Amino acid sequence: MQIGLNLPVVNPEATPSFLREVAQRAEELGFAELYLGEHVVLFDDPQDEYRQSDDGAAFFASMANLPDPIQSLTHLAACTERIRFATGVALLPQRNPVYTAKHVATLDWLSGGRFDFGIGVGWSTEEYAACDVPFERRGDRCREYVAVLRTLWCDPISSFAGEFYELAPCRQHPKPVQLPHPPLWFGGFGEATYRRVADLGSGYYGFDQTPAEIAAVRRRISELVDAAGRSMDEITISHGVYNRLPVSVDELGEYHASGVDQFVVSLLGPSADDMRQQLEWFGREFVGRF
């Protein structure tokens, strides 16, 4: 089981230089992947509850630094050589798909093919409103936008005509290094997410679930993948911990037994020195353990 790392952007001590330091040290320690999530705006008194917390509050404050994940990972790609990068997750239905295709392809091209595109549909009606995008049917919009991305990444001349988007014949370069395009991982909870994995994806990204919960998710995805005529050998199961203290080595073993292919840890220390110590501990105790 590989070990990934959520970059600690919500911590006030996570400066650009500190993030570069963490990325480079994580690569030295043998971490497989660096993750960044996405929220383009935050609200002081949000209307919507965050599903994965007991009180409905998100684990990040409205004043948290949440840099654009694709731009940030592109910067860190220039500071590293081997470690992979992932969005955990980017909110595709809120985004312009043509610009998103360009940004993803550019990151994959500049990094030498080290990017996994994690996609979600989001939970904040207010964030959708700020992006001037309807919240309703965001799952259908997500599927259609994936088709737009694929034609821009894969076809010499790209075009698309759908319910939510139309693209006249055009060309977009550079193309991604990975063929046919960067892996698509879908994050979230529930049947619609699992069907997107089975129909469109090569990975699932879950977070803040118990080993038993992620094992049940894996079983359901496996059923849907089989029904789609595919194999679970094509699917990566990734799981991250955001909202609670780091797991123990024993619990890490439970996640491994539950079928997790990559376990993603977070640095939750209050200071930069605390986070450095946590990173070293994860590297020593978790990387290469299973």
Domains of the chain listed by start with CATH number? 2-133+181-285 (3.20.20.30)
Q: Identify the pLDDT of residue 54.
A: 64
Widest Cα–Cα separation across the chain: 54
Q: Identify the pLDDT of residue 226.
A: 98
Which residues of the chain fall short of a pLDDT of 70?
51-59
Measured in residues, the chain has a length of 290
CA atoms of 46 and 124, how far apart (whole Å): 8
Which residues face 185 on adjacent strands?
A: 118, 203
Are the CB atoms for 140 and 207 separated by under 8 Å?
no
34-93 tens-digit pLDDT: 999 999 999 999 888 776 666 656 667 787 889 999 999 999 999 999 999 999 999 999
Q: Which of 56, 200, 53, 46 is nearest to 117 (CA)?
A: 200
Q: Identify the pLDDT of residue 63.
A: 79
Q: Identify the pLDDT of residue 238.
A: 98
Q: Identify the pLDDT of residue 31.
A: 98
Residue 133: DSSP 8-state: -
248-274 tens-digit pLDDT: 999 999 999 999 999 999 999 899 999
CA atoms of 239 and 92, how far apart (whole Å): 20
Q: Identify the pLDDT of residue 53.
A: 62
Residue 38 class from Cβ within 10 Å (0-12 exposed, 13-18 middle, 19+ buried)? buried
Q: Identify the pLDDT of residue 57.
A: 67
Q: Identify the pLDDT of residue 55.
A: 65
CA atoms of 71 and 237, how far apart (whole Å): 25
